[in-house]
Structure 1
Amino acid sequence: MDKQMENITIAGAGPVGALLAVMLARQGYRVDLFESRADSRKANIYQGKSINLALSDRGWLALEAVGVGDTIREHAIPMYCRVMHDTQGQLTRLPYGQDEQAIWSVSRAGINEQLISLAEQEPLIELHFEHRLKELDFDSLEARFSTKDNGLVTHNSDLLFGADGTFSKVRRLAQELPRQRISHSLEYMPQSYIELTIEPNADGSHKMEKNALHIWPRKAFMLIALPNTDGSFTCTLFLDQEGDTSFESLDSKEKVTAFFEQNFADALPLLSNPVDAFMSKAASPLCLVHIYPWVFNNKVGLIGDAAHAMVPFYGQGMNCGFEDCRVLSELVAQHEGNWESILAAYQRERKPNGDAIIELAKRNFVEMSDLSGDKNFLLRKKIEQQFSNMYPELWVPLYSMVTFSPHLPYASALAIGDIQTEIMDEIMQLENIHQEWQSPHVYQLMHKLALAKLEK
């Protein structure tokens, strides 16, 4: 089949769906991009959704591939470190990487709108807002969409991608297919979240360090804050949905006030009406999605959160989705439009990496909420960083592998990170390590262990 004639449908015009549309159109495919919601450039569709995202090297690599990196960077803020706030208001800074390495705070709505506008400029892309997928024939690829006036639109294509998020309709319809062996799980985390705000100062400046991600780690729960270009911070409170200290148990203004005063005393004067906001907002759930296969009938594929929804604690959800798009686009070129080969290679390459980053993100809640305020954890990070400076080829810290090493698969980062954890556990057992962590014998042992375990 002549690829110029091949029509591709993408369900979901979030950041991943919009980027995928651009990449496929530039390879010569006609793309119809369907979105159930209104055009976010004309209506606020992000109520209750996290309005900040952390963009790192994997995401930037995909954006550079379509030439929008510089445009998006103009509206992003680099965050060079974590700043931990303890219960006494004392601050601890922990750099994310080396020198000028940073993760970037970006507006979810802003990046989505920029990518939709980019898609709109492509002559081979048709955008369809307020079209909600209702039915899909996985053999003929006839799709039916309901419209805002309760109409029903039928659309045919040669390929279809579900880029429709954590609660993907494409994925749910695939699960109903007869004679298909589909493994699927959707797991809710104990924590849910709400958004709070720190407004800018009167002169438009930020009330806290601007180029940092702020964390108030409190073991079972935490508050984080990401900077915005208007001087505000978007804050997210992660808290158990039910239990002794939870969204359900904090059911009065008095309890919520006491909760903030006890746990977030230094944030309380900065936050905009946190008690009223807490009482008025419904907490949003956090979910993990695993599914296999990602491809059905060699005609339908899942991408982004539809294939691998994860918790936000590694800041990799959108980055991983963008990486899906980049890898798929490279496979299209590599396999010269042979979609059976493209889809098989895509699933083979991306599924293990999706599983790996889901696991890493889940683990990172413990690191952010509990360990980041722990003196042993902070010492581990110092030792790791010093050893990495001494032997940069031998030891790249796990966070840097995930965040700043865009060509290293997530699955490799997870495997190497587990070995590094074993080595660091041994190092931390050394006598008087808190006093002697800079002594040569610590790094000699670490070098010996690293050569034995990492060079295999």
Structure 2
Amino acid sequence: MEESASRSDKRKVVAVVGGGLVGALNACFFAKRGFDVQVFETREDIRKAKVVKGRSINLALSHRGRSALKHVGMEDKIVSKGIPMHARMIHSLSGKQSPIPYGKKGQYILSVDRANLNKELLTEAETYPNTTLNFGRKLQDWNAETGLMTFVRSDGSEEEIQADLIVGCDGAFSAIRKQFLRRSRFDFSQTYIPHGYMELTMPPINGEFAMKPGYLHIWPRNTFMMIALPNLDKTFTCTLFMPFDEFEKITTGDEVIEFFQKYFPDTIPLIGVDALKRDYFRLPGQAMVSVKCSPYHIGNKCVLMGDAAHAVVPFYGQGMNAGFEDCIVFEEIMEQFNEDFSAVLPEYSRVRVPDDHAIADLAMYNYIEMRAHVNSKWFLFRKHVDNLLHAIMPKTIIPLYTMVTFSRIRYHEAVKRWHWQDKVINRGLLFTATGAVLGASYLLAKNPPDVNKLTVPAEKLWSRLLALRAP
């Protein structure tokens, strides 16, 4: 066995498979507890790579993720390299811009760079003397009963390690999860949505942001949308979400410009005609998958976290936050059960599965809200009503977005509370509207105005009110 994978006789060995965001953060959590932590990543060290491969959708860091980072002393460092976004900025077809605040004054989410965050977490994990990062290691096989793992190095040679706990943080197409699929009573579902995404870059103008940076910009177009998040280098990363068949209809540079002139005309001078024609064809629309499974553990030797357990589509900005919260939930359960893996792992599955399934469903729902509902006057009215009631009764009425983004209320409990609140508020609005109409009708019936002095619209209103009173 190689020295890099050697184990201490005194410390339990935790093998973290996957050196992405959740894997790197998990390494910090386990190392802080004193375990001998071995991280295994298939790719090369991204801190040394010239080109970082993988997903690059900008990340929105919020309360759950920040809580996990705070636990390992990383919150301030990461927050200092993020850009606060206080509201959605809705761009209409005419070019009108309308902000919709995310929460109360002072509440915001942070636009953070995925690659930089990953590098920072890997560097932090490496500061612990009981952590070893192993790159260029592809998982070949592992045994759920013994914890014996076999990896293939980039040069083709093999390496074995004996682990007391295997933590699968290796993404939506997890190699660790494949062994779960061979076992009975393991539920698994995978759903590709019919929409893909494509990233474009909006460069700075005269060294400054081309748009206001304190917002998540959205161009909602009912069946599709584009969003833009600010970056520290004064660029915006624009992401076009659209059905695959719509992507495939556009085959030439002129058709790209024609499409943008029709749906996103205000972005053409900001992104640039030549850049649009070039970058649209750089990569085809990329797929998005939602993964649900249960349970998250096998015996007392293996557990899944992050996308390996619950890949979600990106529309609630909770994929990374949910994965980071996995780490802190596991930490809390470890504390509760005194690091007894035989008790910790089943409890983790029991607690976490319903929450992760709930956020997967919410992420699907929020795509419809972002691309269509934000155009609705009723949606905007309800936002105002919800925020007003929250200000009056902050503990009784809490908007769904606030519960998900600015608290650690369990995801599935937030959904239950949301449904209850929605029912109560809608009934209240119905009773209030009915009461107002009947009251106005009664007063007008007692004191009818001079019809000759009514304007045409008022006369119509009067007729409708009387019609409402008719038996």
Confirm or deny a common fold (TM above 0.5): yes
- 2:135 is the counterpart of 1:129: yes
Counterpart-to-counterpart distance in 1, 2:380 and 2:276: 30
Query: Which runs of structure 2 are paired with 1:158-237 in the superposition (5 Å)?
Result: 158-177=164-183, 180-203=184-207, 205-237=208-240
2:204 counterpart letter in structure 1 = P
Instruction: State which drifts further: 69-78 or 136-145.
Output: 136-145
Report the Cα offset of residue 153 of structure 1: 1.8
Counterpart-to-counterpart distance in 2, 1:253 and 1:416: 48
Report the Cα offset of residue 187 of structure 1: 0.5
> Compared with structure 1, are the counterparts of its residues 44 and 326 closer, same or farther at alpha carbon in structure 2 (3 Å cutoff)?
farther
| Partner residue in 2 for 1:238 | 241
- Matched position secondary structure for 1:97: coil
Larger radius of gyration: 2
| Partner residue in 2 for 1:108 | 114
Counterpart-to-counterpart distance in 1, 2:96 and 2:29: 46
2:32 counterpart letter in structure 1 = R
Could you tell me whether the CA contact under 8 Å between 2:57 and 2:239 is conserved in 1? Answer: no
- Matched position secondary structure for 1:238: strand
> Compared with structure 1, are the counterparts of its residues 303 and 247 closer, same or farther at alpha carbon in structure 2 (3 Å cutoff)?
same
| Partner residue in 2 for 1:390 | 392
2:48 counterpart letter in structure 1 = K
Counterpart-to-counterpart distance in 1, 2:88 and 2:221: 15
Q: Deviations over 1:125-175 (max 9, x none)?
A: 110011111211222222122222222222221110100111111112321
| Partner residue in 1 for 2:413 | 412
Q: Deviations over 1:203-238 (max 9, x none)?
A: 2x2111111100000111100001111111111110
Instruction: State which drifts further: 194-203 or 231-240.
Output: 194-203
> Compared with structure 1, are the counterparts of its residues 234 and 404 closer, same or farther at alpha carbon in structure 2 (3 Å cutoff)?
same
Counterpart-to-counterpart distance in 2, 1:216 and 1:189: 20
- Matched position secondary structure for 2:171: coil
Q: Normalising by the residue count of structure 2, what TM-score does the alignment of the two structures yield? A: 0.87
Counterpart-to-counterpart distance in 2, 1:334 and 1:3: 25
Could you tell me whether the CA contact under 8 Å between 1:196 and 1:277 is conserved in 2? Answer: yes
Could you tell me whether the CA contact under 8 Å between 1:195 and 1:234 is conserved in 2? Answer: yes
- Matched position secondary structure for 1:42: coil
Report the Cα offset of residue 255 of structure 1: 2.5
Q: Deviations over 1:228-252 (max 9, x none)?
A: 111111111101112xxx1222223
> Compared with structure 1, are the counterparts of its residues 18 and 114 closer, same or farther at alpha carbon in structure 2 (3 Å cutoff)?
same
Counterpart-to-counterpart distance in 1, 2:339 and 2:427: 50
| Partner residue in 1 for 2:271 | 271
Counterpart-to-counterpart distance in 2, 1:3 and 1:60: 34
Q: 1:140 aligns with which of 107, 128, 146?
A: 146
Could you tell me whether the CA contact under 8 Å between 1:3 and 1:29 is conserved in 2? Answer: no
> Compared with structure 1, are the counterparts of its residues 398 and 74 closer, same or farther at alpha carbon in structure 2 (3 Å cutoff)?
same
Unaligned runs of 5+ in 1: 437-456
1:182 counterpart letter in structure 2 = F
| Partner residue in 2 for 1:50 | 56
- 2:27 is the counterpart of 1:25: no
Q: 2:282 aligns with which of 277, 280, 283?
A: 280
Report the Cα offset of residue 427 of structure 1: 5.0
Q: 2:14 aligns with which of 8, 28, 42?
A: 8
Report the Cα offset of residue 48 of structure 1: 5.4
> Compared with structure 1, are the counterparts of its residues 140 and 265 closer, same or farther at alpha carbon in structure 2 (3 Å cutoff)?
same
Report the Cα offset of residue 124 of structure 1: 0.7
Sequence identity (%): 38
Post-superposition, which runs of at least 4 consecutive aligned residues in structure 1 deviate over 4 A? 427-433
1:252 counterpart letter in structure 2 = T
Could you tell me whether the CA contact under 8 Å between 1:4 and 1:29 is conserved in 2? Answer: no
Counterpart-to-counterpart distance in 1, 2:177 and 2:351: 19
Report the Cα offset of residue 44 of structure 1: 4.6
Query: Which runs of structure 2 are paired with 1:247-326 in the superposition (5 Å)?
Result: 247-272=247-272, 273-326=275-328
| Partner residue in 2 for 1:454 | none
Counterpart-to-counterpart distance in 2, 1:16 and 1:403: 18
Query: Which runs of structure 2 are paired with 1:418-437 in the superposition (5 Å)?
Result: 418-427=419-428, 429=430
Q: Which has the higher helix share?
A: 2
| Partner residue in 2 for 1:442 | none
| CA RMSD across the alignment | 1.8
| Partner residue in 2 for 1:453 | none
Counterpart-to-counterpart distance in 2, 1:3 and 1:267: 60
Counterpart-to-counterpart distance in 2, 1:24 and 1:206: 40
- Matched position secondary structure for 2:268: coil
- Matched position secondary structure for 1:33: strand
> Compared with structure 1, are the counterparts of its residues 21 and 94 closer, same or farther at alpha carbon in structure 2 (3 Å cutoff)?
same
Report the Cα offset of residue 45 of structure 1: 5.2
Counterpart-to-counterpart distance in 2, 1:430 and 1:231: 49
Report the Cα offset of residue 430 of structure 1: 6.5
Unaligned runs of 5+ in 2: 1-7, 438-471
